[in-house]
Structure 1
Amino acid sequence: MVQAKVWILTKHFEGFPKDSDFELKVEELPEPKHGEVLLEAVFLSVDPYMSRVRMKEGDAMIGTQVAK
């Protein structure tokens, strides 16, 4: 079984974000199904507006990535 790390927004913040505004969770991923692939993220880009405007508390941080 493969584990994935997911950053969760725990609290909306004013000004600069603090470490306490986020939580790193580890999740077990299911085996890929027929036609699916499993990729490893090498670089991540998360735009600050995502956590301020589009996310709710408890949501996973979403961004763009380069994977292999």
Structure 2
Amino acid sequence: MVQAKIWVLKQHFEGFPKDTDFELSLEQLSEPNDGEVLLEAVFLSVDPYMRRVRMQEGDVMIETQVAK
């Protein structure tokens, strides 16, 4: 099993975000099946428009990334 780190938005914020606005949780991933791959994120792009347009409290932050 592989452990994934997931950033979750705890609460919307005004101005600059604080550490307390997010929560880092761990999720167990199963081994990849035939035809699947497991990638490790190297860089993540989290854009400002996500604050109000796409994110709801409790959502996992999903955006563009570079992976290996």
TM-score by length of 1: 0.91
Q: Which residue of 2 aligns with 1:54?
A: 54
The two structures, once aligned, show a CA RMSD in angstroms of: 0.9
How far apart in 2 are the matches of 1:38 and 1:63?
A: 17
Name the CA distance, whole Å, in 2 between partners of 1:16 and 1:52: 13
Does the residue aligned with 2:34 lie in a helix, a strand or coil? Answer: coil
- Moved segments of 4+, more than 6 Å: none
Amino acid at match of 2:14: E
The answer to whether the 8 Å contact 1:51/1:61 transfers is no
The aligned counterpart of 2:6 is 6
Unaligned runs of at least 5 residues, structure 1:
none
SS of the residue aligned with 2:59? coil
Please, what TM-score do these two structures have when normalized by structure 2? 0.91
Q: Give 5+ residue unaligned stretches, structure 2.
A: none
Contact preservation (8 Å) 1:13, 1:52: no
Residue identity (%): 78
Contact 1:3–1:26 (8 Å) recurs in 2: yes
Q: Which has the higher helix share?
A: 1
Q: Secondary structure at the match of 2:53?
A: helix
Aligned length: 68
